[in-house]
Amino acid sequence: MIVIPAIDLHDGKVVRLKQGRFDMVKEYSNDPVSVAMEFNEAGAMRIHIVDLDASLKGRSVNTAVIESICRSVSSEIEVGGGVRGKDDAARLLDMGVDFIILGTVIVKDPDLAAEIISAYPSRIGLGIDAKDGKVAVSGWTEETTYGVKDVLKMYEGLSPAFVVYTDIKRDGMLTGPNIEATSSLVSYTDLPVVASGGISTMQDLKLLSEIDGLMGAITGKAIYEGLLDIREAISRFSNN
């Protein structure tokens, strides 16, 4: 299991939301590139970036920041948020992003999502964000009737690179990850699964690492609040 530090971007700054709510935002840094470089120096194999502005508004104000991060670190960079078409995907990949995570489009326009996955084999992940088992889209502002497994069934045979599963209720809350739901998802799909939401301690990471086959775990707020030493976490878990 690899430990993946997260950078959420809003107006060019590093922030964290609680349960995806933009009225519950806390700023941690106005220098995202330096934050990414710190993660890189700590040994991060991959850094998870969420473009919150693009996710909510469908357009990014963080493109230059993301490009600077790609130029400044050797860690792999995955970006999610606001990728609504092939042009969006191409632009990110051209600037040096290694992996793209599709969210809203995988539910609202499965044909387009399938086209993007087919156009960039091994570069596209599925971002499945769920609240009480139901998938939410559009920056988590819109809840759908789809379950997590319903969405996965849509993409059987297309071979996306991985799945990022986020429990919205736990995201930014530091209440611990949803071990049961994550374990169930790993057992259900052959795709590599990355868990996100709620991680606050080394014990949380230990519990996740015990899920056989789990690819990775994303953590953000715990790092910024000083609850988790990212260098220690990477050293302890990313080689296991």
Q: How far is CA 152 from CA 42, 100, 213, in A?
A: 33, 17, 17
User: Which residues does the annotation mark as catalytic?
Assistant: 8, 129
pLDDT tens-digit map of 126-145:
999 998 889 988 766 788 99
Amino acid sitting at position 70 = C
Prediction pTM value:
0.94
Buried b (16+ CB within 10 A) or exposed e, 59-75: ebebbebbbebbeebeb
- What's the mean pLDDT in 58-63? 85
pLDDT at 23: 79
Query: What domains does the chain contain, in order, with CATH numbers?
Result: 2-237 (3.20.20.70)
- For residue 158, the Cα-to-chain-centroid distance in whole angstroms is 20
pLDDT at 89: 96
Provide the H-helix boundaries in 120-158: 148-154
How does residue 171 score in pLDDT terms, banded at 50, 70 and 90?
A: low
Cβ-based neighbour number of residue 189 at 10 Å: 20
CA distance 57 to 63: 14
pLDDT at 239: 61
pLDDT tens-digit map of 80-122:
998 989 999 999 999 999 999 999 999 999 999 999 999 999 9
Nearest-CA neighbor of 165 among 222, 126, 138? 126
pLDDT at 158: 93
Asked whether the predicted pLDDT for residue 32 surpasses 70, the reply is: yes
Buried b (16+ CB within 10 A) or exposed e, 202-239: bebbebbbebeebbbbbbbbbbbeeebebeebbeebbe
pLDDT at 14: 98
Average pLDDT, the chain: 93
- Residue bearing tokens 């963080």: 62
Are 189 and 162 in contact by the 8 Å Cβ rule? The answer is no
